[in-house]
């Protein structure tokens, strides 16, 4: 998944546009989607989807797969949002629907339903803004934006090293898993647990070794105090995208104002 | 001599036997050198010593006749002069794409940005990596990664290039390309030292051979000189090159005291000449 995603990101249709502008654009819309009403949030979601799927030419399959996976977290929190539990249902509760289980009464309130409903649209529109960044800005450019925003160097370096290691880790873990399976491991459940524990232990030792190697490698290449990133390339923004973004944001603001007044 | 080790002893913390034990060797300037030895004979430790990442417990490492001082400033200059290519390319690749990664060392050396761009593109062209310039590193094959890590070191134009098992796990085609590239760098004046346990590659490619065993240097000389001491080579568990073994098996009347051929093509030529006679 991660591997194919990286290929998509490096070949997306918006790469020629300044990453700083794209991050700013997504940030503005994210702010708007947090503060606005559900109907405006739907508009933001649709608009961001057009940018990501159409302008950036990201295939819909990985996009919706990721969206679905992220919404799973929302679904997991649904029972807690919707249901309230009481020993005996007090009269005067705004229960829409209730049922008994043992001596407990479970019921759904209007407030809970409204909360779940507004949270759903808020997460949907916020996710679409996040995905716009995720799918159109390669990681190194994200780091360059972080640097431009004067985030602490340690944060940038940690992200860089984590990004570099995640693939090595997946690679190593997968290699070890296959090796264990090839030698008859992961048979029964208890064996699976034992082999997984073994794998994790080795993985840790292996990672420490790799970490040491990378440190030597970087020192030999002249690392002094900080990891220097290539400077951000000067990329423009086409007039067409500038107009669309400004007009679109204004329309969304007007729409939100109209919803609030009306 | 561009670099020397004088009686260097070093042991890793927590180990009982030293990785290097009174190691003395010298690297002649301008040559193509093969450093031979088993896994664990101290080759990689010597490499880390040579760029000052670890310091000897006893003895000295000398660069152009002067012992290393291990001061930050001087180490920085040393590391610009001595390039080290690790066996595992993952150890030294850090930024997202070959283009960005190759420029990393130049940026550390505070080279101006426009020159960085020029030099990076030049080296990408030279190593035939232009098509891969903007592909994420983790999508490259091992051979490609090895070439990128070599490019990242070569772009700094070091005086001495150290390579740790550069041909390990490479297919014949990639190996050939790599050796040709090393020849080219050597022609431009860089001393190239390659650690390997492929005797055939060492015999064919190098013009100076150093043999290490158990943290010591036990032989130094031209390939023919070193491999003529076949018995000692076999005693430490290494093999003499196939071509040299074949040459040895030929009757002395045929060889007439000639210098043994070092490449298959040279051998074929010699055989061809024989038939005419």
Output the 3-class SS for chain B: CCEEEEEEEECCCCCCCCCEEEEEEEECCCCEEEEECCCCCCHHHHHHHHCCCCCCCEEEEEECCEECCCCHHHHHHHHHHEEEECCCHHHCCCCCCHHHHHHHHHHHCCCCHHHHHHHHHHHHHHCCCHHHCCCCHHHCCHHHHHHHHHHHHHCCCCCEEEEECCCCCCCHHHHHHHHHHHHHHHHCCCEEEEEECCHHHHHHHCCEEEEEECCEEEEEECHHHHHCCHHHHHHCCCCCCHHHHHHHHCCHHHHCCCCCCCCHHHHHHHHHHHHHC
pLDDT at A92 over 70: no
Per the CB < 8 A criterion, the answer to whether B98 and B151 are in contact is yes
Q: How large is the average pLDDT for residues A223-240?
A: 82
Q: Is residue A106 part of a domain?
A: no
Note the pLDDT of residue A89. Answer: 63
* A chain contacts of residue B48, beta-carbon cutoff 8 Å: 216
* A chain contacts of residue B134, beta-carbon cutoff 8 Å: 10
Q: Is residue A125 part of a domain?
A: yes
Does the interface ipTM go beyond 0.85? Answer: no
The answer to whether residue B178 neighbours chain A at the CB level (below 8 Å) is: no
Q: Is residue A18 part of a domain?
A: yes
Note the pLDDT of residue B109. Answer: 84
Q: Is residue A20 part of a domain?
A: yes
Of A6, A220, A231, which has the smallest distance from its Cβ to B84's Cβ?
A220
Q: Is residue A96 part of a domain?
A: no
Q: A193 and A69 in one domain? A: no
Q: A25 and A4 in one domain? A: yes
Q: A212 and A243 in one domain? A: no
Q: A191 and A123 in one domain? A: no
pLDDT at A67 over 90: yes
Which residues, given as ranges, of chain B have pLDDT below 70?
A: 276-277
Number of structural domains found in chain A: 2
Q: A156 and A42 in one domain? A: no
Which stretch, A185-189, A229-233, B223-227, B271-275, has highest mean pLDDT?
A: B223-227
Q: A158 and A183 in one domain? A: yes
Give the separation between CA B45 and CA A184, rounded to whole angstroms: 37
* A chain contacts of residue B86, beta-carbon cutoff 8 Å: 213, 216-217, 220
Note the pLDDT of residue A47. Answer: 94
Note the pLDDT of residue A14. Answer: 87
Best residue in B91, B141, B157 to probe A by mutation, most A CBs within 10 Å?
B91
Note the pLDDT of residue A3. Answer: 55
Which DSSP letter does residue A229 get?
P
Predicted model pTM:
0.77
Give the separation between CA B42 and CA B37, rounded to whole angstroms: 8
Q: Do B96 and A214 touch (CB under 8 A)?
A: no
Q: Is residue A186 part of a domain?
A: yes
Q: A159 and A120 in one domain? A: no
Q: A157 and A78 in one domain? A: no
Q: Do B90 and A168 touch (CB under 8 A)?
A: yes
Q: A172 and A67 in one domain? A: no
Q: A121 and A33 in one domain? A: yes
Q: Is residue A130 part of a domain?
A: yes
pLDDT at A91 over 70: no
Q: A259 and A169 in one domain? A: no
Note the pLDDT of residue B105. Answer: 87
Chain A residue with minimum CA distance to B84: A220
Q: Is residue A147 part of a domain?
A: no
Note the pLDDT of residue A1. Answer: 45
Q: What does the block give as tokens for B92?
A: 């030294």
CA distances from B33 to A36, A49, B38, B240 (A): 70, 59, 17, 17
Look at the block and give the residue holding tokens 């249709």: A13
Owning domain of residue A49:
1-84+112-137+236-262
Distance between B153 CA and the closest CA of chain A, angstroms: 7
Look at the block and give the residue holding tokens 């090159």: B241
Q: A20 and A5 in one domain? A: yes
């Amino acid at each position: 998944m991660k591997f194919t995603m990286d290929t998509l990101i490096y070949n997306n249709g918006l790469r020629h546009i300044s990453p700083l502008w794209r991050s700013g654009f997504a940030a503005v819309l994210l702010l708007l989607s947090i503060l606005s009403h559900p109907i405006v949030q739907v508009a933001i979601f649709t608009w961001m989807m057009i940018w990501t799927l159409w302008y950036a030419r990201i295939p819909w399959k990985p996009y919706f797969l990721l969206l679905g996976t992220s919404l799973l977290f929302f679904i997991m929190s649904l029972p807690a949002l919707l249901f309230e539990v009481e020993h005996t249902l007090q009269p005067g509760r705004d229960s829409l629907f209730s049922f008994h289980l043992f001596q407990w009464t479970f019921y759904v309130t209007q407030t809970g339903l409204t909360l779940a409903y507004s949270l759903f649209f808020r997460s949907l529109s916020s996710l679409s803004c996040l995905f716009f960044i995720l799918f159109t800005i390669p990681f190194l450019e994200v780091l360059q934006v972080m640097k431009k925003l004067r985030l602490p160097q340690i944060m940038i370096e940690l992200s860089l090293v984590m990004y570099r290691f995640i693939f090595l880790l997946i690679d190593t873990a997968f290699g070890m898993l296959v090796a264990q399976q090839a030698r008859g491991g992961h048979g029964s459940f208890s064996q699976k647990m034992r082999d997984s524990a073994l794998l994790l232990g080795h993985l840790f030792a292996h990672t420490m070794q790799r970490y040491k190697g990378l440190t030597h490698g970087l020192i030999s290449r002249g690392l002094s105090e900080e990891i220097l990133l290539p400077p951000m390339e000067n990329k423009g923004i086409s007039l067409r995208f500038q107009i669309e973004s400004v007009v679109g944001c204004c329309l969304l603001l007007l729409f939100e104002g109209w919803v609030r007044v009306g | 001599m561009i670099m020397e080790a004088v009686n260097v002893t070093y042991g890793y913390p927590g180990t009982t036997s030293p990785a290097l034990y009174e190691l003395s060797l010298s690297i002649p300037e301008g040559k193509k050198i093969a450093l031979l030895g088993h896994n664990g004979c101290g080759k990689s430790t010597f490499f880390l010593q040579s760029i000052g990442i670890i310091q000897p417990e006893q003895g000295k490492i000398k660069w152009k006749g002067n012992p290393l001082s291990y001061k930050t400033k001087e180490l920085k200059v040393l590391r610009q002069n001595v390039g080290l290519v690790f066996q595992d390319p993952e150890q030294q690749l850090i930024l997202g794409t070959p283009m960005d990664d190759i420029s990393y060392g130049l940026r550390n050396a505070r080279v101006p940005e426009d020159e960085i761009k020029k030099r990076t593109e030049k080296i990408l062209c030279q190593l035939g990596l232009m098509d891969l310039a903007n592909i994420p590193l983790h999508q490259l094959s091992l051979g490609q990664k090895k070439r990128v890590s070599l490019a990242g070191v070569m772009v700094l134009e070091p005086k001495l290039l150290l390579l740790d098992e550069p041909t390990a796990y490479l297919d014949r085609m990639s190996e050939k390309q790599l050796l040709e590239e090393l020849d080219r760098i050597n022609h431009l004046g860089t001393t190239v030292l390659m650690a390997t346990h492929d005797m055939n590659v060492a015999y064919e490619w190098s013009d100076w051979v150093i043999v290490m065993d158990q943290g010591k240097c036990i032989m130094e000389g031209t390939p023919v000189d070193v491999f003529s001491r076949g018995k000692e080579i076999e005693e430490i568990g290494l093999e003499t090159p196939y071509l040299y073994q074949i040459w040895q098996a030929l009757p002395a009347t045929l060889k007439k005291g000639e210098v043994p051929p070092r490449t298959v093509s040279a051998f074929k030529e010699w055989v061809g000449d024989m038939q005419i006679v």
